[in-house]
Chains A and B, each alone.
Chain A
Amino acid sequence: MRPGTIGPPAEAPTPPPDEDVRVPHEVLLSPRRIVWARRKRAFQRTARTYRKSTMGMIGLAILVFFILVAVFAPLIADRTTMDPTSPTTGDAYEPPSAEFWFGTDNLGRSIYTMTVFGSRISLTVGLAATLISMSIGALIGIFAGYYGGWLETGLMRVTDWFLVLPWLALAIVLASLLGRSLSIIILVIGITSWPGTARIVRAQALSVKTRPYVERSRALGASNWHLISHHILPNVGPLIFANTILTVAIAILSETTLSFLGLGDPLAVSWGTILEFAFSSGAATTGKWWWLLPPGLAIVFVVLAFTMVGFALDEILNPKLRER
């Protein structure tokens, strides 16, 4: 499971049909206003289409729920119940009860509290790692697609090389070499998951580059920087966004796997770390289902939500899929 191996093929999307550029008369004041008015309308159009997607809306609802849980974690769970030295913890291996909704672990910590606070770590790692991955992927994709020539050949060769490196093995090697900390986990996931994005972005940049308005702008003396930042990036942006959402899902799964293998930050308890505690304490063979189900289901639903939102956005924003 990694970006690029799933979903639609990235090769040569066809340009979308010319958009309706009629803009109400009163906003025809400056080019900037026209652009923003058009972008606003495009955004509203996308939002309207998105609302019709059942899959997208369900995904969004689950996502909002988990974000609220992460933000308001201290209000809905008592942090002291997951501190083994605190008197508020229970006995070891208590099954779910009114006091401990999801039961307790081997140290008497509340699994409910750990799962609630774990959402913060898992979501942070997922989002931060995606930010790194997207920045690298978008940068390489745009530069390769826009400049072409030997730069493109070189960049895409490197991308293909990274695409074949088994990401989990690479992440394991990097994490074992660099040590166990949250920022290293984020960095490792970020630098192992960008090649898929780079390829998709490059394909789109290639097609945008040849459009008449880019040529016109160049004829008027626009610099490369202007062309990239004002014409290429805004057009590639939506696709990057859809891809970002899908990458978050993969990043969260990656974090879970690394933590489960004992490479996570020992001080930041994520859902993967809880599963690692549970498995290494023999929860599976002794039937302590309450220790395994809550963090696992949380992962499944968050990953599912990001994937659903990503697919729904992809259907709308990916020019190749829009025709279907």
Chain B
Amino acid sequence: MGTRGYLAGKILQAFLTLVFVLCFNFFLFRVMPGDPAALLLRGTSAFNPENVEQVREDLGLNESLPKQFLIYMADTAQLNFGESFFLRGKPVNEVVADKIWPTVLLVGTSTIASIVLGLFIGIWGGWRRGTVADYGSLTFTLFVYAMPEFWFGILVLMAFGGGVGPFPSIFPTGGYETPGADLTGFAHAADVLNHMVMPFFVLTVAYLGEYAIIMRNSLTDVMADDFVTTARAKGVREKQVLWRHVVPNALLPTWTLTMLSLGFVFGGAITIEYVFSWPGLGWLTVQAIEAKDFALLQALFLIFSAAVIIANLIADITYMYLDPRVRAA
């Protein structure tokens, strides 16, 4: 069992988890009370006996359960998720493909910002454990952690989008770009950036609390270790003790938790995208809920789950490079 064995084990594990999610997704929509075909159409204008029979045919619901499962797996492997009802029969994979980029852009950048800021606040507070600085940063992070992110989003939207009282309206109240402006190149990028300021800020602040708390706990754990005392005893300067000895060791457990939560931010942006009408996967999810578009929801659930599994795998692989003990084992 060396590096290669560890890697193979982790990849196999991720693969098994993906298979579990696929099975779960299949049974979730079939074990539920009622006819899945009727369920898929429920509440939509397409709900009539003829369409239900058509969907039954498409989903292969007239076949036996094992056969249905094979059809489902084959369809999923070809990224065929059926048709979206609320978008009038547009294939689900096309609908989803259009929305991935805005979500990756918004969630990706704000996650990086919140991790960097959160870890820094955690280090800053944990190193000064028990001082006013520590209590101050702890209170701030706990407050941010306790806040429903969408509520903070609405308040920011009200203050800087709509404008209230002393706050001027600075930023556009939602969307990805100015509709109808038809900008290109640099002007278009600036326009998107202008629309992104508020949701980016809200997501960054909403998530940094979690990272800061994890980092602070990990840091105070490591600070109690003997090698820190040794480092001080041999005359290492305080700054060096922190950045050379404490932080690298405290980052290890934090790294796993950070990567784990990274997979969840995909789903976590659902409410923020909704508040700021950001045309990504999150807002699409809210629209799918409202329209009771289960074909779409099923595909989105699969994407969100796959994101977590991939993030976990990356965490495990990078951990191998960060922690020499894993390589040696």
Contact = CB atoms under 8 A, between A and B. Distances in A.
Interface in B148-171: 148, 150-151, 154-155, 157-158, 161-165
Contact of B308 (A166, A285, A287, A293): A166
B279 interface: no
Contacts, number: 165
B289 A168 contact: no
Nearest to A253: B148
A9 B250 CA distance: 12
A308 interface: yes
A166 B147 contact: no
B305 interface: yes
Interface string A67-103: 0000000000000000000000000000000000000
Contacts of B202: none
Interface in A160-174: 160-161, 164-170, 172-174
Contacts of A6: 145, 210, 213-214, 257
B158 A165 contact: no
A7 interface: yes
B194 interface: no
A261 B271 contact: yes
A178 to B, nearest CB: 8
Nearest to A282: B162
Summarize A's interface: helix, strand, loop or mixed.
helix
A176 B292 contact: yes
B86 to A, nearest CB: 13
Nearest to B162: A285
A107 to B, nearest CB: 20
A144 interface: no
A165 B148 contact: no
B300 A300 contact: no
B148 A304 contact: no
A292 B210 CA distance: 24
A249 B165 CA distance: 32
A313 interface: no
Nearest to B309: A164
A303 interface: yes
A280 to B, nearest CB: 10
A170 B154 contact: no
Interface stretch (B17-25, B44-52, B236-244): B17-25
B217 interface: yes
B72 interface: no
The 7 closest A-B pairs by CB, nearest first: A287-B164, A303-B146, A166-B267, A304-B146, A285-B162, A296-B151, A166-B304
Given A6-B257, A166-B304, 12 more contacts: A164-B21, A164-B308, A166-B301, A169-B270, A169-B300, A174-B28, A177-B294, A178-B32, A285-B173, A289-B164, A299-B147, A304-B143
Interface of A: 1-2, 5-9, 160-161, 164-170, 172-174, 176-178, 249, 253, 256-257, 260-263, 272, 275, 278-279, 283-287, 289, 292-293, 296, 299-301, 303-304, 307-308, 323-324
Interface of B: 17, 20-21, 24, 28-29, 32, 39, 142-143, 145-148, 150-151, 154-155, 157-158, 161-165, 173, 210, 213-214, 217-218, 220-221, 224, 253, 257, 260-261, 263-264, 266-268, 270-271, 274-275, 285-286, 289-290, 292, 294, 297-298, 300-301, 304-305, 307-309, 312
